[in-house]
Amino acid sequence: MSARGPHWNSATPLPAECRYRVSLCTTCMGRRSDLERTLPVNLKLNAGYPVEFVILDYNSSDGLEDWMRRHMRAEIESGLVAYYRTTEPRFYSMTHSRNVAFKLASGDIVCNVDADNLTLDPALAEPPAMCFAERLNLLANQIGRRVFFAKSRQLLRGRLGFFRDEFIHELGGYDEELTGYGRDDHDLRDRAWRLGYTHMRFDGAYIFRYKTPRGDKGTNMENKKWRETERANAARSAANVAAGRLRANEGREWGRAKVRKNFDEWIEI
């Protein structure tokens, strides 16, 4: 059973006194076709707010680097986009890749945005007044620290955000013992709740996901049986939360990688 914890819900939020820098992080292995149709749109949707788009090319073999060179050069040079590529992984890891991306981010707030996600539902007749990054900032100004940002209690949709320093130092990142597809976000949410974090709901207006065929869920992962890995991850997460093991990756290095930033600068984290 999943943990439950505090949930902020106010129809009259306080005005934002602090303007936090927001990093929207996307990890890609073989997802160039998704990123081609989402990244340009998400850049426009969040224009005007101090946002950074972190793109982690997790050893893609589909020409993602060439596409970034051709189509994102100006955004990279301006600092709006930070492009990182690692050639180390043989298989995709949801937990390790997100840990690397969040560590590389420069924002006060970090939030995952899957490659097939838009940060606004295009079907809305009346879009919200503020962009997704600004909405995160507004929520971050409501009750102080020890919060996480998600669509709702159950439907996370690959979109989960934190203050970066709390994600690293209090939560210990995503649990890298969770392998393959499934439950990585729910595990992080449940550990945060048990540590007293409050869920800040940004609602479904900011979520649109292009549908990924069920058979593609295990693509690029070592174990392609995604239902099997989802069950195993759920069992591990439940055991850890029940035992009070709420800070992940204790006693081990995590989120480690050698990456090339913006095509020519090598960095080790």
β-pair partners for 28: 57
CA atoms of 103 and 101, how far apart (whole Å): 5
- Are 59 and 87 in contact by the 8 Å Cβ rule? The answer is yes
pLDDT for 155 equals 63
pLDDT(1) > 60: no
> Between β-strands 258-261 and 265-268, what pairing exists: parallel, antiparallel or unpaired?
antiparallel
| Average pLDDT of the chain, as a whole number | 93
Contacts of 197 (CB under 8 A, 6+ apart): 5, 6, 146, 147, 148
Do residues 134 and 155 touch, judged by C-beta distance below 8 A? no
Closest CA to 25 of 82, 64, 65: 82
Output the pLDDT for position 214. Answer: 63
Q: Mean pLDDT over residues 102-128, rounded?
A: 96
Contacts of 79 (CB under 8 A, 6+ apart): 52
User: Which tens digit of pLDDT belongs to each residue from 203-250?
Assistant: 889 999 998 766 666 788 888 888 999 999 999 999 999 999 999 999
- Domain residue ranges in the chain: 7-268
Q: What is the pLDDT of residues 4-42, one digit of tens each?
A: 788 887 778 999 999 999 999 999 999 999 999 999 999
Backbone angles phi, psi at 94, to 5 degrees: -65, -40
* Residue whose token pair is 């979109």: 159
Q: Using a pLDDT cut of 90, give the percent of the chain over it.
A: 83
Which residue in the block uniquely carries the two structure tokens 């996370």? 156
Percent of the chain with pLDDT over 70: 96
Q: Are the C-beta atoms of 5 and 193 separated by less than 8 Å?
A: yes
- 49: tokens are 């707010």
φ/ψ region of 22 (left if φ > 0, alpha if ψ in -120 to 50, else beta) reads: beta
Report the SS3 class of residue 179: coil
Give pTM, 2 decimals. Answer: 0.95
Do 29 and 59 contact (CB within 8 A), yes or no? Answer: yes
CATH of 7-268, one of 3.40.50.920, 3.30.565.10, 3.30.70.2190, 3.90.550.10: 3.90.550.10
Residue 65 has pLDDT above 60, yes or no: yes
